[in-house]
Amino acid sequence: MKKFSVEEISQIVGGMLTKAQDAEITMIAPPLLCDENMLALALGEEEINNLAKTKAKAALVPLGVNIDGMTTIEVERPRLAMMKLLTLFYEEPRVNDGYHPTAVIHPEAQVAENAQIGANVVISKGAVIGEHTKILPNSYIGNNAKIGNNCFFHAGVNIGDRVVVGNDCILHHGVSLGADGFSFVTENPNNIEQARKDGGEIKEENTEQKIFKIPSLGSVVVGNNVEIGANTTIDRGTIENTTIGDNTKIDDLVMIGHNCRIGQGCMIVSQVGIAGSCVIGDRVVIAGQAGLADHIHIGNDSIIAAKAGVSKSFPEKSIVVGIPAVPRKEFIKQLKTMKDAGDLIANFKKYEPLLRSFLEDSEEN
């Protein structure tokens, strides 16, 4: 069991210690769930109020909060301090040392001697696994894939042929990198092609026709220090590679289509769908359930709000909201217009009897 003094904890988070009593910290928890050996995390108003009911002797609090009779560690950025503490107490899932006897490693694969390979892992011909990389059970590494150093793959990760993953990457359960892109063509112009040609209308009568699959010759290239959440899928490119930039973090259940280029330091939240051939700049935030149409560009440092339906490109530092997505200022203007329209309708209904009476009198005269 890990144990730390409050002085050690204060140094780790860079906080200001006000010591009322000694405490040996073995874990962290919200105030109401603490025992006397836990550090109470009181980062918000509700948790701070709950310190009156906690069994903990010490608490992590925002700067300026002081609790009489309790040891406190004040921090300027509570969430950053919480991250440091969670990292301190976190224990990675256990991986067997060396290669598990049930792992299937092709003789022409290159696996670092200090890599840890779990049960039922398959590593295909020509694959390369870097130094100190850990791959948990039931994962698959495709032909000629290249995995960097110090990576951690949770159970059930699937890596397609020729996929490249950089150093220090974390892939969670069920991640799929390098499946074929959703790319097809019909023998004759289909409804979508007709609508684009004829200004949004479908004029011709269509008959059933054969749909041809377009093969994907490209792959997926993931940069360094990237984290990809559970059951996220990233398709390989048609000719060029689908790419994910360094330090980008992708949540669970995200879909990134073929040929996309995602920049560095991006944050992509759960259930986002990015259609093929999109270009996303650096440090872009895409909130949950947003959808991006194909072939659009999003500039650096932009924010796409939750559930936004993005159908066109936006320049750098854009904040876009709504369906269809528009700049935030325009969205607020639209809301105001709708409110004004509501007020106008309400006033019209109020005076409608007078107007009707006036019209009736006019007709009689």
Cα(90)–Cα(170) distance, integer angstroms: 15
Domain annotation covers residue 217: no
Domain final position from 89, 117, 136:
89
Does some domain include residue 325? Answer: no
Residue 148 phi/psi, 5° resolution?
-75, -165
Q: Which of 89, 118, 136 is the last residue of a domain?
A: 89
- Res 340: pLDDT: 72
**Does residue 74 fall inside a structural domain?**
yes
Read off the tokens for 343. 């007020």
Encoded tokens for 304: 């796409």
Q: pLDDT (tens digit, 0 to 9) for every residue of the chain, 365 residues total?
A: 789 999 999 999 999 999 888 888 999 999 999 999 999 999 999 999 999 999 999 999 999 998 888 999 999 999 999 999 999 998 888 889 999 999 999 999 999 999 999 999 999 999 999 999 999 999 999 999 999 999 999 999 999 999 999 999 999 999 999 999 998 888 777 777 676 766 667 666 767 778 899 899 999 999 999 999 999 999 999 999 999 999 999 999 999 999 999 999 999 999 999 999 999 999 999 999 999 999 999 999 999 999 999 999 999 999 999 999 999 888 888 778 777 777 777 777 777 777 777 666 666 66
Give bridge partners of residue 212 from the DSSP assignment: 185
Instruction: Kindly state the DSSP code that residue 20 receives in the 8-state scheme.
Output: S
Q: How far apart are CA 4 and CA 13, in angstroms?
A: 12
The answer as to whether 25 is a domain residue is: yes
Please indicate, yes or no, if residue 31 is contained in any of the structural domains: yes
Q: What is the pLDDT of residue 346?
A: 77
The Cα–Cα gap between 92 and 303 comes to 32
Q: How many helices (H) and strands (E) does the chain have?
A: 5, 39
| Domain presence at residue 230 | no
> 50: domain range?
4-89
Residue 345 lies in a domain: yes
- Indicate yes or no: pTM above 0.85: no
Exposure string (b/e) for 133-144, b if CB count within 10 Å is 16 or more?
bbbbbbbbbbbb
Q: 132, 258, 295, 297: which one is catalytic?
A: 258
Annotated catalytic residue 258: yes
Among 33, 67, 89, the domain boundary falls at 89
On whether the CB atoms of residues 286 and 268 are closer than 8 A, the answer is yes
Whole-angstrom Cα distance, residue 351 to residue 15? 64
How many structural domains are present in the chain? 2
The answer to the question of residue 30 being in a domain is: yes
Calpha distance 286→304 (Å, rounded): 5
61: domain CATH number is 3.40.1390.10
